[in-house]
Structure 1
Amino acid sequence: MTGATDEPFGRPASTHVAADVRPPPSLWTKLAYGFGSVAYGVKDNGFNYFLLIFYSQVIGLDARLVGLAITTALVVDAISDPVVGYWSDNLRSRWGRRHPFMYASAIPVAATYFLLWNPPTDWSPTALFWYVLLLAVLIRTFITFYETPSSALAPELTDDYDQRSSLLSFRYYFGWTGGNAMSVLMFMFLFPAFATATIPNGQFNREAYSLYGIIGSALIFAAIVISSLGTHSRIAHLPAPPPKRTIRLGAVFREIFETLATRSFVALFLAAMLGAVATGLSAALAFYFTTYYWGFAPQQTGWVTVGVFGSAIIGSALAPVVTRAIGKKRGAMIIGMIAFLGSPLPIVLRLLDVLPENGTPFIFWFVLLSGMVDVGLIICFQILSASMLADLVEQAELRTRRRSEGLFFAASTFIRKSVQGLGVITAGFVLAAAQFPAGADPSQVSEETLRRLGMIYVPAILTLWMAMMAMISTYRLGRADHEDNLRRLAAAKGGSGPGPA
């Protein structure tokens, strides 16, 4: 569906007048907006990479119970996303529509994240299940009150087709870098520091995770506060909330459906759902593969995670270039196919006995470099997809006469939270199907078990990625459509419009 299919408030689509004057975001604004994603990056990194292995291999809770707790929490919490998105679209305050939520979330998110990594000792499996479930619900609800309004600032800070990809590149760079910094901290410093005579691999020492919780919660608090303060000066230039009105529950659901019911949004929504499951599955098993499948020591895994810093640079630098050169959808399709077909390639080569034995220098460098490039392409794909979502805001405004950035980015947050947990629970069942032993160190896992793990994982992850690409191929909004939407909105508001794309 393109912008040219809808008439703006009865005005002809050919009217050629201009959009509201909005100063472009400065470098400081981009940095502040981007740095705010460190909070979600740290939280997501912990949930995706460490939570399953911490509670199952260190605490001793059944992996399926951990996955069930995380997924149940996501389903319970999912209602908060559209509520917060709609609320922030309609909030009237002297601090604008988004910032009151952002400021209020800082302490609750940090406090609950700290508690998650410091569970009580000597509790029963049932009690620990409810502990994880309750904290997962609280953390994800509180982070919604920050992440949804904060992310929704992207289409408000600029309506330029190329600038949106640039702005979101900062967002994704800091999100990936901040989360990855915690992985590097764990594998390069905390795990070695907490290795003892009784626990020679610090990866299985709960004290390391306790300190991780302290550092992570402090970083989350700092990121939220710094980003909120750094974008505060832009409040005067952001779109105003709609006029005061009586809002009934039925009208709320009707407006949500009216805003989101477009072919292009449904394409992105379904693609993101499949991608979130795949991401959850891949992330939950990532350290299983480095620790057990490839036999890396914690320090080697630390260097693999250091490579993600390079990935963040690759993806963030590439996305704006791709946007300018070939457009967002075509770029996402090309980059995505390369990235997702290449993602399980090292495992496939191991299953085919093409690679040398574990422990050789080639294995380490091959996994490190191939992973760095592949993750960089995945980050580029994510930035392009997020920028495609931002461009739907003006298309929806043409039909509804409302600015609904919060709803669109709430849908994105909803997907990440409510569906990605299915990837975690899927990882639990993959481990069970591979007959992977709980609480085992690498020497206790047989070659046959590892081979089963690879043979189950590869077709599962490829099926999810390819189904996602099929969905995103139905997206129908390009540069020319976006520019036409801006012209028609400007015509309805009586200004003079941007020139042709």
Structure 2
Amino acid sequence: MTDAALPPRPPITFRTKALYGVGAAANIIKQRGITTFLLLFYNQVVGLPPAMVSTAIMIALIFDAFIDPLVGQISDNTRSRWGRRHPFMYIAALPVSIAFYMIWNPPVGWENEALFAYMLVCLLTIRLFDTFFELPSSALLAELTSDYNERTSMISIRSFCGVAGGLIMQLLVYQVFLKKHADGTGGLLERGGWQTYSIVAAITIFTIILISSAGTHHQIPYLRKPPVRKVTIPAMVKEVAATLNNRSFVALTVSGMFMNVSLGLKTALELYFNLYFWGLTQGQLALLTVTGVVASVIGVVAAPKIAARLGKRMAAITMFFGAVVALLLPIGLRLLGLMPENGTNLLFGILIVDFMANGAMAIMTGVMLQSMIADVVEDAEVKTGRRSEGLLMSADNLFKKIVSGVGVFVSGTLLAYVAFPQGAKPGQVDPELLRNLALIYLPTIGGFYAVAISCLFLYRIDKSVHEANLRALQEGAMEARTTDAQTEAGTPAAAGPAGDLTPVAPRP
């Protein structure tokens, strides 16, 4: 159904934007749990070798990556009284929550191979049903608004909700569920606290999914409906290839691939660096988490303004570069002997400021990139005549998740290469071992980030191009109405090569 055939849409209220945005918190709570804590939990608490843990995570990410395009294409072509997206979103809530609880409560006394299989099954289930929610929910953005700047604003709200939700749950881990007590009990290596965390996180994920899905339910009458048609597998493959053959989309995808290798590596080793390299306490980690919430507020407030001033592409490149510098600089200075000693207030103060700078610029980068992907939707529609939000979002995720799994796998490989001890206590790890880890980490992650930033220069959709695309689509919709009127009046209508009416003429 073209926009011309849809009922007039009332303005999107802040309430709708907020309820749509809060859905990101479910994904980030799940994602932070897996990327930040799972390697530490299964390696240092359960006792699995790090290579086995990172291999399971990588397999699950690759599985998820290939499921994404399938779910995206099915979602784009689904016809139901609840529209294309919402049936999948509602279905996801219960299975993903149960699987998330189970992964933090593995059986006691099992052999490593059995624990590996248990962990992998839980991860695959989480990834499958999380895709059922996150992908259709993300695809809704391009349908809820086509305005160039409003998209950035909505993504800012969604990014803030995601980051804040993930960081608040992380703060609860440090200060409530696994708090380190004065008598030495508790802490991240205490198994009992993880059960409480898993219960609260699973219930939170379930509730957020239902609230966000219901919060956008009233928008269903204004969302596009796919045409009634018979789609064969060869035709579907041809459509997918045509949709993804977009220069700006390819630039974003390649950039995202290199970025996500680095993100997978960074996230998996971040807690190791904080606990062992910097010697931070759990109380200090909690303060860093609070700083992250503040940084996310700064990022989401500043992102739309910077994007409007510089344009999305240059804003993304500038903020991306700044975030990478902030991430790598403290470790580099420590290797050069220019950072204060561990345990000093000066060191922690420097890390707080650096963490806030990195977090704010990383949030702004993420907002820009998501908004840029949304703008590809109309660009691809003008060229192909098809609306494929789900396919574009899922294809973007496919490549990112494949290589993100590689990043997680590399993190486990690096730990194994430097012979990082199992059950290690902060302050008791050989400084030379930590130095070797940092020396390998810096050039690896820095190189991947450099390629990611360079690819963004190839993105070509600015505000003027986007508005030209909207005008072309509007003209196509008017032509479709004229064609329909001529058909009803008995006047022959022009047909495409296959005899189908073409509402939008593809652009060369």
Q: Shorter-chain-normalised TM-score: which range?
A: over 0.9
Is residue 244 of structure 2 the alignment partner of residue 264 of structure 1? no
Aligned partner (choices 258, 277, 281) of residue 274 of structure 1: 258
Is residue 93 of structure 2 the alignment partner of residue 109 of structure 1? no
* Whole-angstrom distance in 1 between the partners of 2:219 and 2:337: 56
Is residue 433 of structure 2 the alignment partner of residue 449 of structure 1? yes
Structure 1 equivalent of residue 153 of structure 2: 166
**Residues 148-171 of structure 1: per-residue CA shift (max 9 Å, x gap):** 000001111000000000010111
Structure number with higher relative contact order (C-alpha < 8 Å, ≥ 6 residues apart): 1
Amino acid corresponding to residue 282 of structure 2 in structure 1 = P
Amino acid corresponding to residue 181 of structure 1 in structure 2 = I
* Whole-angstrom distance in 1 between the partners of 2:78 and 2:49: 43
Structure 2 equivalent of residue 67 of structure 1: 54
Q: Which moved more, 1:74-83 or 1:343-352?
A: 74-83
Structure 2 equivalent of residue 204 of structure 1: 189
Structure 2 equivalent of residue 8 of structure 1: none
CA RMSD of aligned residues (A): 1.9
Tell me by how many angstroms 1:368 deviates: 1.4
* Whole-angstrom distance in 2 between the partners of 1:417 and 1:330: 25
* Whole-angstrom distance in 2 between the partners of 1:483 and 1:369: 39
Pick closer, same or farther for the CA change 1:21–1:478 going to 2, 3 Å: farther
Amino acid corresponding to residue 211 of structure 1 in structure 2 = T
Is residue 18 of structure 2 the alignment partner of residue 31 of structure 1? yes
Structure 1 equivalent of residue 343 of structure 2: 359
Kept in 2, the 8 Å contact 1:191–1:203? The answer is yes
Is residue 146 of structure 2 the alignment partner of residue 140 of structure 1? no
Identity of aligned residues (%): 41
Is residue 211 of structure 2 the alignment partner of residue 226 of structure 1? yes
Amino acid corresponding to residue 398 of structure 2 in structure 1 = F
Amino acid corresponding to residue 41 of structure 1 in structure 2 = I
Aligned partner (choices 200, 206, 211) of residue 215 of structure 1: 200
* Whole-angstrom distance in 2 between the partners of 1:281 and 1:441: 22
Tell me by how many angstroms 1:414 deviates: 2.4
Tell me by how many angstroms 1:418 deviates: 2.7
Q: How many aligned positions are there?
A: 478
SS of the residue corresponding to residue 319 of structure 1 reads helix
Kept in 1, the 8 Å contact 2:7–2:221? The answer is no
Tell me by how many angstroms 1:417 deviates: 3.1
Structure 1 equivalent of residue 162 of structure 2: 175
SS of the residue corresponding to residue 458 of structure 2 reads coil
**Residues 465-489 of structure 1: per-residue CA shift (max 9 Å, x gap):** 1010111211111110000000011
Is residue 275 of structure 2 the alignment partner of residue 288 of structure 1? no
* Whole-angstrom distance in 1 between the partners of 2:192 and 2:260: 30
Give matches, 1:297-446, under 5 Å.
297-446=281-430
Tell me by how many angstroms 1:24 deviates: 3.2
Aligned partner (choices 38, 41, 45) of residue 51 of structure 1: 38
Amino acid corresponding to residue 357 of structure 2 in structure 1 = V
Amino acid corresponding to residue 139 of structure 2 in structure 1 = A
* Whole-angstrom distance in 1 between the partners of 2:64 and 2:148: 33
Structure 1 equivalent of residue 70 of structure 2: 83
* Whole-angstrom distance in 1 between the partners of 2:260 and 2:215: 30
* Whole-angstrom distance in 1 between the partners of 2:201 and 2:461: 38
* Whole-angstrom distance in 1 between the partners of 2:451 and 2:411: 18
**Residues 185-224 of structure 1: per-residue CA shift (max 9 Å, x gap):** 111222226x596x64511011111111111111100110
TM-score using structure 1 length: 0.92
Tell me by how many angstroms 1:436 deviates: 1.5
* Whole-angstrom distance in 1 between the partners of 2:108 and 2:121: 17
Kept in 2, the 8 Å contact 1:434–1:456? The answer is no
Structure 2 equivalent of residue 94 of structure 1: 81
Is residue 244 of structure 2 the alignment partner of residue 244 of structure 1? no
TM-score using structure 2 length: 0.91
Amino acid corresponding to residue 135 of structure 2 in structure 1 = T
Q: Which moved more, 1:444-453 or 1:109-118?
A: 444-453
Kept in 1, the 8 Å contact 2:316–2:368? The answer is yes
- Gap regions ≥5 residues in structure 1: 1-16, 497-501
Structure 2 equivalent of residue 5 of structure 1: none
Q: Which moved more, 1:357-366 or 1:408-417?
A: 408-417
* Whole-angstrom distance in 1 between the partners of 2:96 and 2:32: 15
* Whole-angstrom distance in 2 between the partners of 1:159 and 1:21: 14
* Whole-angstrom distance in 2 between the partners of 1:21 and 1:372: 43
**Residues 65-94 of structure 1: per-residue CA shift (max 9 Å, x gap):** 100011112223322101110111111111
* Whole-angstrom distance in 1 between the partners of 2:359 and 2:7: 38
